[in-house]
Structure 1
């Protein structure tokens, strides 16, 4: 792995939090992701299942974690199954985790080769009454591919029809949403790498540069700082492209007088950062561009201040809508009649700001985390308001990642990344 070793104390804590909420005489199983084929002998780069990584730190394919707090034999209360390595694999792919390395990584003492899973699992299921299945219940999920986890669940239901079933996801939603200090350090590292990439761009962007050239500059900076690369597919949208919320073609020329919206960020150790900045291609905002930009910035700052313990996510978004409505009135994009006659289910401001303001972030860019209960300290949220004006050929979005504090204002993990108009113009002038 490119990233520095993570203390296994993090994964030990995470497992304790999970097992504390398991039912008596229950087993929980977590499978690694598949390696997905492209065609011929090509595959996509491997990405570990984030739940398995969260609970074990194991970052290789063909891995299974089993948790059974009530196992009669204490050595079977935590078991990690890993792919057995050999000289052939070592030559062609690189050596996989040894049993000793798997223990060092995860803090789990009992390590078996994956070939032993069927026998050990059957034996332990004779002691268990409940099995936790790890289904994906994220509110944005839209998975059509059958996963390794799906196949395991299907087989398990067939082989053990007398057992009760339970869901691991509600537990994970709760515990993954509140970050440990070690996780916040990893996320800060991802944000610091993102900062280096963004600062590199400010002296690079100019009329005539292409969007994909900006993408290449970022990738260079991210990888040289021990990141795998982008935490998500980068959006580098010049001019009217910014009005396509998920514009990812990144194949157009950046023209004089346009703004360029960049929703781009690095990962580090599987943890995401999520940044958006909008800058003028020629280094100077027009009067109108500055008005819109500063309106978005005011909404971002006021929305950030509302992220405190006890805040309800749904109510928070309603308040953000009120802030945006006020700014749009000031910009002349809405008038009082638009607001008076608005549809409550699709308020007037949605014409220019049609997405949400915040989401959990962590091991996933859109991370697990409770959304229907009050916010808690050490949850990490993005704050990303935007104003999109196709008629004027511009879109502005600004985004930072912030940590809710027990008391006081949220802590901005991206506080060192330039965002004020004067600072951006000053840095872009240093070409």
Structure 2
């Protein structure tokens, strides 16, 4: 891995928190992700399942974690099953975790090789009543591929039909949404790397560069700072491309007078950052562009203040909608009749601001969190208002990542990334 070793205290505490929520005499199983083939002997770069990483720190394929807090044998209350490393694997792929390295990473003392899984698992299944299975129930999930976890869950139900089955997901949704300080520090590191990339491109952008040239500059800076790269597919959208919310082609020329909407973020140690900035290709906003930019920035600042413990996500978006409506009236994009006659299910402001303002962030860019429950301290949210105006040829989005505080305004993890229009102009023209 490119990233520095993570303190195993994080994973020890995460397992303790999860185990405390389990039913009596139950065990939980977590599998690593597949290595997904492309064709011939090629495969996509491995990405670890976030839940097994969250609970163990193991960032290696073909791994299984079993938690059984009430196991009669103390040795089997936490178990890792890993691929047995050997000289052949070490030469061709690099050595895998051995038992000592697995303990240093995870804090788990009992490590077996994968070939022992069915034998050991059969033994502990005779001692438990309920099995927690890992399922992806994120509200944005749209999974068409059968995963390693899916195959395991199918095998488990067929092999042990008399056991009760429970879901790990509701527990993890709550636990993962509230961050440990070690996690906040890792997200801060991802944000700091993103800042370096953004400052780099402020010096690089000029009329005639291609959107993919800008993407490459970010990637250069990210890789040089121990990141695997982008936390999600980057958006580098110049001109009217910014009015396509998920524009990812990044293949057009950046032209004088246009704006570039950048939605990019570095990952670090599997943790995400998520930044949006909008900059002028020529290094200077027009008066109209700056007027719209400052209006959005005002909404972002006011929306950020609302992210406090006890806030309900749906209510928050209603209030942000009111802020944006006021700004749209001031910009002349809406009039009073538009607001008076609006459809309550699709308010007038949605014509120009059609997406949500905030989402949980962490190991996943759109991280776990139960949005119907009140916000809590140490949750990390984005704040990302935007306006998309095809008739004027540009779209603007501004986004920071913030940590909810027990008392006071949220802590902005992107506080050092240039955001004011005048500052962006100064840096692009120095």
TM-score, shorter chain, exceeding 0.5? yes
Distance 1:88 1:344 in 2: 64
Match of 1:65, SS?
strand
**Equivalence for 2:189:** 189
Other-structure match for 1:388: 388
CA distance in 2, matches of 1:75, 1:143: 36
For 2:329 and 2:120, the matched residues in 1 are separated by 65
Return the alpha-carbon distance in structure 1 between the equivalents of residues 7 and 158 of structure 2: 38
State the partner residue of 1:252. 252
The corresponding residue for 1:60 is: 60
Q: Residues 20-99 of structure 1: matches in 2 within 5 Å?
A: 20-99=20-99
**What runs of 5+ residues in structure 2 fail to find an aligned partner?**
none
**CA distance in structure 1 between the aligned counterparts of 2:234 and 2:365, rounded to whole angstroms:** 12
Q: What's the RMSD between the two structures over aligned residues?
A: 0.4
Distance 2:324 2:134 in 1: 38
Aligned to 2:150: 150
Moved beyond 3 Å, runs of 4+: none
Query: Is 1:418 equivalent to 2:418 in the alignment?
Result: yes
Q: Is 1:273 matched up with 2:273?
A: yes
Partners of 2:82 and 2:327 lie apart in 1 by 55
Matched, 1:405 2:405: yes
1:341-398 Cα distance to aligned partner (Å, 9 max, x none): 1111111110000000000000000000121111000000000000000000000000
Match of 1:217 in 2: 217
Residue matched to 2:120: 120
Aligned to 1:160: 160
Give the equivalent residue in structure 1 for 2:236: 236
Indicate the SS of the match to 1:203.
helix
How is 1:134-145 mapped onto 2 (pairs within 5 angstroms)? 134-145=134-145
- Output the CA distance in 1 between the equivalents of 2:151 and 2:334: 52
Corresponding residue of 1:178: 178
**Over residues 224-281 of structure 1, what are the superposed CA-to-partner deviations in whole Å (9 max), with x where a residue is unaligned?**
0000000000000000000000000000000000000000110000000000000000
Please state whether the residue corresponding to 1:140 is helix, strand or coil: coil
Which ranges of structure 1 fall in alignment gaps of 5 or more residues? Answer: none
Q: How many residues align?
A: 430
Secondary structure of 1:89's match?
A: helix
Counterpart of 1:206 in structure 2 is 206
**Separation (CA, whole Å) in 1 of partners of 2:397 and 2:142:** 25
How many Å separate the matches in 1 of 2:80 and 2:337? 62
1:107 corresponds in structure 2 to 107
